[in-house]
Amino acid sequence: MKHFVFRTLGQAKRLIIIVVGFTILIAGIAMIVLPGPAVVVIPIGLAILATEFIWARKLLDSVKERIERMRKNN
């Protein structure tokens, strides 16, 4: 029974992380054309998703590298 409870709690946690991460990411993408800080919100959504998905971690790392290059050029 304990195994089932821990497995279920783990799945629920993962589902919440995925839903929150995609919600924030979609809101950030919408802010590209709507008023809002898309440049801040999109990386936050990616950071949340990166805790569960490798593709999000790679994309977030790419965004970080671009930001660092932009800082060095200015």
How does pLDDT run across 3-59, given as a tens digit for each residue?
666 688 889 999 999 999 999 999 999 999 999 999 999 999 999 999 999 999 999
Question: What's the domain range around 27?
Answer: 2-73
Give the number of domains in the chain.
Answer: 1
The CA–CA distances, whole Å, from 42 to 6, 33, 62, 64, 73 equal: 31, 13, 13, 12, 23
Q: What is the residue-wise DSSP string for 22-71?
A: HHHHHHHHHTTTSSS-HHHHHHHHHHHHHTT-HHHHHHHHHHHHHHHHHH
Displacement of CA 55 from its chain's centroid (Å): 10
pLDDT at 65: 92
For residue 64, pLDDT over 80 is answered with: yes
